[in-house]
């Protein structure tokens, strides 16, 4: 029995007409679009590029400030900078600042965010996880001046200091350590503790937001396969939030290279200028020094270092993304 096939093939439905562009193209000259960029370009030029160029130019001059005339110095300021022990000491302190603002908060942020997401969020409740995340972020919203005054009160050198009172109660002896002005070790250590306390909430919030795109079934499947917390952290958490780790590392490193307020509030560079950082050194030279050109040289050196570090971070991130693709 022959089947009756239709002799005429059915017409396929026509393709849907292309949707019109949401932004209609402007006929004729596009000059009108560029006019919108002019206010922003002027603002960027005045606020960012002019001070940078003006500061870099000033680094090649001697200038006493005010209406005093500038005298060309050539490379004198730059040569003097690389032989300046206080400047070199301030850059050595930057490595400790990077430990306090980048390495420790990032590592702690990774562990804390993984615990909040993988353990607290799944076994208790998402609300508790969100509450703890907000708690860790609380120091970030405090003005740095308030945090500095609070730490100064805790670290008072005499028996009225909270930390000294606590140590006196534990040891049974009266403790009167001058934490901020006694020695380089205690002063720099106190500044580092303040930086860690302020900075810890930033990576926690960023990493928790990144973990929000991870399917919870991945953790459940890994748990059923017998993976412990560290194995889940290494196999799931770290690969999923690697881009955010780059972003946090880049932004906090740049912030560490420019750090100023914690040193200014807690130690003012003391004792004996040992806790100087480059930004504070530039500020101090500009306010109290006699050659503003030298202060501009310090600030220019900081700008160059920040630019180089940012370029290196971006190149490394791009190379890592291409390798994964």
Confidence (pLDDT) at 18: 56
Q: How confident is the model at residue 42 (pLDDT cuts 50, 70, 90)?
A: very high
Read off the pTM.
0.81
CB 206, CB 247: distance < 8 Å = yes
Q: Which two tokens stand for residue 129?
A: 């996880």
Provide the sign of the torsion angle of the four alpha carbons 228, 230, 231, 236, taken in this order: positive
Task: Determine the Cα angle at 313 with ends 309 and 314, to 5°.
Answer: 120
- Could you read off the pLDDT of 88-142 as tens digits, one per residue? 999 899 999 999 999 999 999 999 998 888 888 878 878 888 888 889 898 988 8
């Amino acid at each position: 029995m022959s089947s009756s096939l239709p002799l005429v093939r059915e017409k396929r439905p026509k393709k849907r007409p292309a949707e019109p562009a949401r932004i209609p193209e402007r006929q004729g000259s596009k000059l009108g679009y560029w006019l919108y960029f002019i206010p922003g370009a002027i603002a960027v030029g005045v606020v960012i590029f002019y001070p940078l160029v003006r500061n870099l130019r000033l680094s090649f001059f001697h200038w006493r400030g005010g209406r005093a005339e500038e005298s060309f110095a050539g490379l004198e300021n730059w040569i003097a900078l690389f032989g300046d022990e206080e400047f070199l000491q301030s850059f050595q302190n930057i490595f400790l600042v990077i430990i306090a603002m980048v390495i420790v908060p990032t590592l702690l942020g990774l562990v804390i965010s993984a615990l909040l997401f993988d353990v607290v969020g799944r076994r208790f409740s998402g609300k508790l996880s969100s509450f703890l995340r907000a708690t860790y972020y609380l120091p970030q919203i405090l003005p740095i001046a308030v945090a500095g005054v609070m730490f100064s009160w805790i670290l008072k050198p005499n028996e009225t200091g909270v930390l000294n009172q606590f140590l006196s109660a534990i040891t049974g002896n009266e403790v009167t350590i001058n934490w901020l002005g006694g020695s380089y070790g205690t002063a720099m250590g106190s500044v580092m503790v303040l930086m860690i306390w302020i900075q810890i909430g930033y990576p926690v919030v960023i990493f928790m937001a990144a973990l929000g795109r991870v399917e919870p079934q991945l953790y459940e499947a890994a748990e059923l396969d017998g993976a412990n917390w560290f194995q889940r952290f290494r196999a799931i958490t770290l690969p999923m939030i690697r881009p955010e780790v780059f972003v946090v590392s880049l932004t906090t490193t740049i912030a560490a290279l420019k750090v100023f307020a914690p040193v200014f509030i807690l130690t003012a560079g003391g004792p004996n200028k040992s806790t100087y950082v480059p930004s504070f050194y530039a500020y101090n030279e500009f306010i109290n020094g006699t050659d503003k050109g030298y202060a501009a040289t310090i600030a220019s050196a900081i700008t160059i270092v920040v630019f180089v570090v940012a370029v290196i971070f971006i190149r490394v991130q791009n190379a890592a993304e291409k390798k994964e693709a």
